[in-house]
Amino acid sequence: MTRWRPIATTLVSLAGLGLAAFLTWAHYFDQGAINNTCPLGSKGAGGFVNCGAVTTSPESMVLGVPVALWGLLFFVAMTVMSLPRAWRSPSMRLAQARLALNVVGMGFVLYLVSVEFLQLHHLCLYCTFVHLLQFALFMLVLTGWNDTGYVQSHSSDAEYDELEDEEWEEEPEPARDMYSAPGNRLPRSQRSKARARA
């Protein structure tokens, strides 16, 4: 297993968790924190980069839940599943769940980006940072399938079985002389004379 991958996915998940936690807190308690600190953003209605226009739009709610809260829940789950111990787990379901969750998360990101560009015509840089973290996490998990404990445990078992089969095939059969082979046994006195002549 590649040692850096579990560490990288954990760090990316924690960074996404921090940003999503800030956006969730601001959504419920202080929307002005987003408006006033938006990187490169304009505080008015104009301007392409406008975090407030995105985070307060009707599209910022999905199924009655803020998009920021969906992101927070996603990164909480990914932080747990990205820990080194989780990567080492031989559970197939855990490996599949980590990959499936990232595929769903990446699809959600593409939807949100399309909403920003095609419907709102505004860009939230805080959201963009989260989207980039999600993309990095997606690529790390997608390219790291062979580093999962599930694949590693199965490849180790297969290599062990193959090695055991090779050893079994190469093991020489015990040598037998013509006098000890079944059906060729001579009386003891004749066997002794035959060995003496040999």
Band of pLDDT at residue 179, cut at 50, 70 and 90: very low
Q: Note the pTM of the prediction, 2 decimals.
A: 0.73
Architecture of domain 4-151: Up-down Bundle (1.20)
Q: Please, is 55 exposed, middle or buried when counting C-beta atoms within 10 Å of its C-beta (0-12, 13-18, 19+)?
A: buried
Residue ranges per domain, the chain? 4-151
- By the 8 A CB rule, do 147 and 5 touch? yes
The pLDDT tens digits of the residues spanning 113-145 come to: 999 999 999 899 999 999 999 999 999 999 988
Distances (CA, A) of 67 to 64, 111, 136: 9, 11, 19
Q: Is-contact 73 66, C-beta < 8 A?
A: no
| Mean predicted lDDT score pLDDT of the chain | 82
Confidence of residue 66 (pLDDT cuts 50, 70, 90): very high
Q: How confident is the model at residue 154 (pLDDT cuts 50, 70, 90)?
A: confident
Q: What tokens appear for 114 in the block?
A: 């399309």
Tell me: pLDDT of 91 over 60. yes
Confidence of residue 23 (pLDDT cuts 50, 70, 90): very high
Cβ count near 78 (within 10 Å): 25
- Better-predicted residue by pLDDT, 39 or 33: 33
As given in the structure block, the two tokens for residue 121 are 């015509």
The fraction of the chain above a pLDDT of 70, given in percent, is 75
Q: What would the mean pLDDT of 154-161 be, rounded to a whole number?
A: 57
For residues 175 and 113, is the Cβ–Cβ distance under 8 A?
no
DSSP class per residue in the chain: --THHHHHHHHHHHHHHHHHHHHHHHHHH-HHHHHHH-TT--SSS-SSB-HHHHHTSGGGEETTEEHHHHHHHHHHHHHHHTSHHHHH---HHHHHHHHHHHHHHHHHHHHHHHHIIIII--B-HHHHHHHHHHHHHHHHHHTTGGGSHHHHHHHHHHHHHHHHHHHHHHPPPPP--TTTSTT----HHHHHHHHHH-
